[in-house]
Chains A and B, each alone.
Chain A
């Protein structure tokens, strides 16, 4: 009797594992096709690999920079394997550009520089992509204030998420909420580099 039970258990486990493997491979095929589409164009594109917990900035299939995802949560509909383009970046305080006063000394030799730099970029923001995908980025808590801000931001996300989900369900639209924690500088660098119209591919966890 025991050998039969063991045989069936082994059979079902291996079949399930094979299906999982096949599923992952199929998902990868679709996303590689999508990457090929993006890599054929002379634009920068982004790959959010939630499984590997990495974000890659690429162009023409060449890796330009990568960020490590410290923490991540995924909730909602399955994400399309097609390239998803960035529709909007939302943040509490958008970085503003300085207006140059004609005639003033602008040769950059002053000690104080009025420019848009990485430090001016927000580390806490939301990226709205096509297909109802919303990526919330927060910095890794470094102290009491950032920790508290992260809690408030997360609470807001937990409250608004279900309401948006119901709203999208009523409109028969998909909605996926992804929450990502990055190192502060890398969160700012992602905001700096990722622009409206840039393509991206998301590998689900």
Chain B
């Protein structure tokens, strides 16, 4: 009983301190929320008139908009595995795709590592190919447990990239696929696979320099 009473005091003190800390935190937080709003309003009321601010905002909005692509462009949503061929805000074509699996591959020595993500950001169409042949990179051989060939010709494989391919740099392509039932899934090594019909439309519409936004 006495021991319990001895324990009760420090426990109560700790609870009290914690509650005091919480209360102090809420006080500071609420004060800062209201103070910051008031402070910003004071700053803003200085010098510039409402009409000038409106004009400035209009100009800034048009400057931001001027950075948007002028003609057609491609938007790749790797989360939903969708590709949009767009012009302005209009969607010309929506295609189901396959994008990077996110898997990792190490070589036999464990020194070299490949991460199969589709790169994100802004890219442009750098090359266009009809009936493209695939030049197999090192990882393709490592993945199959084969030795990396010394002859360039041993890397060439036909018929796996579909009818067309659009290169967007660093060995990444938008191309066709033999595995159409896997469209909509994340299964590739970073390239973007598209179904035949959609690919033809995209290939026809996209020129060298067409912008590609991948996210």
Contact = CB atoms under 8 A, between A and B. Distances in A.
Same complex: yes
Interface of A: 18-23, 25-29, 32-33, 35-36, 39-40, 42-44, 57, 59-65, 74-78, 97-100, 102-103, 106-109, 113-118, 121, 159, 161-166, 169, 175, 177, 188-189, 192-193, 195
B105 A99 contact: yes
Given A21-B50, A29-B57, A60-B67, A102 B105 contact: yes
Contacts of B179: 107-109
Contacts of A77: 32-33, 36
Contacts of A25: 44, 50, 53-54, 57
B11 interface: no
Contact of B121 (A22, A43, A99): A43
Main secondary structure of the interface of A (DSSP, over half): mixed
A76 to B, nearest CB: 5
Interface string B183-215: 001111000000000000000000000010101
Given A21-B50, A44-B215, A61-B65, A76 B122 contact: no
A56 B182 CA distance: 29
Contacts of A113: 101, 182, 185-187
Interface residues of B, number: 68
B154 interface: no
Nearest to B213: A59
Interface of B: 21-26, 28-30, 32-33, 36-37, 39-41, 43-45, 48, 50, 53-54, 56-57, 60-61, 63-69, 73, 75, 77-80, 89, 98, 101-108, 115, 120-123, 142-145, 179, 182, 185-188, 211, 213, 215
A59 B79 contact: no
A76 B30 CA distance: 7
Contact of B48 (A21, A26, A28, A164): A26
Contact of B29 (A18, A76, A103): A76
Given A39-B64, A61-B66, A165-B28, 16 more contacts: A25-B57, A39-B67, A44-B121, A60-B68, A62-B68, A62-B75, A64-B77, A113-B182, A115-B186, A116-B103, A159-B22, A163-B25, A166-B21, A175-B29, A177-B29, A188-B79
Contacts of A29: 53, 56-57, 60
Contacts of A20: 41
